[in-house]
């Protein structure tokens, strides 16, 4: 397993540094989720904005494209950004995500959304804790989970044309398993690849933003899968 620290560092120093970094990652992830939730709730309760998005398919498509563009841009160019640019890009992405997620409040009851969020938070927390504390190297999970992710993406795209409920449910349950595994895998990867000893540097901040984005995406996708399974539609 890859460990990015000098061999002279004591195990106690390594553990303390990793804990500090992961707390920073979780804090930024939480900020992203809060931004998404607040924006989704605001748009869902703003009739003018909601009507504008619902009635304008081109605008909705542009929002999706903008979100994908921001994710790829942040992932590819973060090392060239300033810390404030990386932070701003991440929060902007989370906000745009909230705009498109406003439809959730129209499709599902508020109580089922809250229940799905609680289940997601508990599941995510348990698997992230496992990824953080386990001594088992989870590197081998990566290729398997990535292939599974590609599989459900392709199946979902095909099912947009077939509209087969069975395929839809299979991809949903498979998606839950994949993102549960990714939560543990990504947590361990972020923990072990952090450059230890660079606390307070721009690189440390940008590393925490990328880590937060990764776990944010795991949480959001897991939430959407669980919501589809247990959500009460309006």
Whether residue 127 contacts residue 183, with contact meaning beta carbons closer than 8 Å, is answered with: yes
Mean pLDDT, consecutive 10-residue segments, the chain of 234 residues?
A: 57 87 97 97 92 87 94 94 97 96 90 96 98 95 94 92 92 96 97 81 94 98 96 82
| Domain range list for the chain | 11-230
Residues 7 and 168: their CA atoms lie apart, in Å, by: 49
For position 132, what pLDDT does the model report? 96
Is 0.75 surpassed by the pTM of this model? Answer: yes
Q: SS3 breakdown of the chain: % helix, strand, coil, rounded to 5? A: 85, 0, 15
For position 2, what pLDDT does the model report? 45
DSSP annotation string for 162-195: H--HHHHHHHHHHHHHHHHHHHHHHHHHHHHHS-
Strand-pairing partners, residue 108, are 233
For position 8, what pLDDT does the model report? 64
Q: Specify burial of residue 47 (Cβ count, 10 A radius: 0-12, 13-18, 19+).
A: exposed
For position 160, what pLDDT does the model report? 86
């Amino acid at each position: 397993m890859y460990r990015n620290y000098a061999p002279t560092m004591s195990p106690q120093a390594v553990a303390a540094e990793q804990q500090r970094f992961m707390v920073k990652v979780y804090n930024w992830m939480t900020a992203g989720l809060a931004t998404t939730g607040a924006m989704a709730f605001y748009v869902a309760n703003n009739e003018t904005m909601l009507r504008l998005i619902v009635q304008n398919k081109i605008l909705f498509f542009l929002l999706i494209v903008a979100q994908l563009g921001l994710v790829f841009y942040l992932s590819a160019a973060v090392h060239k950004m300033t810390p404030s640019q990386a932070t701003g890009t991440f929060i902007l992405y989370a906000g745009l995500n909230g705009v498109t997620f406003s439809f959730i409040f129209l499709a599902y009851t508020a109580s089922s959304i809250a229940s799905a969020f609680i289940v997601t938070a508990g599941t995510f927390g348990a698997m992230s804790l496992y990824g953080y504390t386990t001594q088992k190297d989870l590197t081998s999970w990566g290729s398997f989970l990535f292939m599974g992710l590609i599989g459900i993406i392709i199946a979902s795209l095909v099912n947009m044309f077939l509209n087969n409920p069975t395929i839809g449910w299979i991809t949903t349950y498979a998606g839950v398993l994949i993102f549960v595994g990714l939560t543990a895998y990504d947590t361990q990867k972020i923990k072990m690849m952090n450059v230890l000893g660079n606390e307070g540097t721009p690189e440390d901040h940008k590393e925490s933003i990328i880590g937060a984005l990764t776990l944010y995406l795991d949480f959001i996708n897991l939430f959407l899968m669980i919501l589809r399974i247990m959500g009460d539609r309006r």
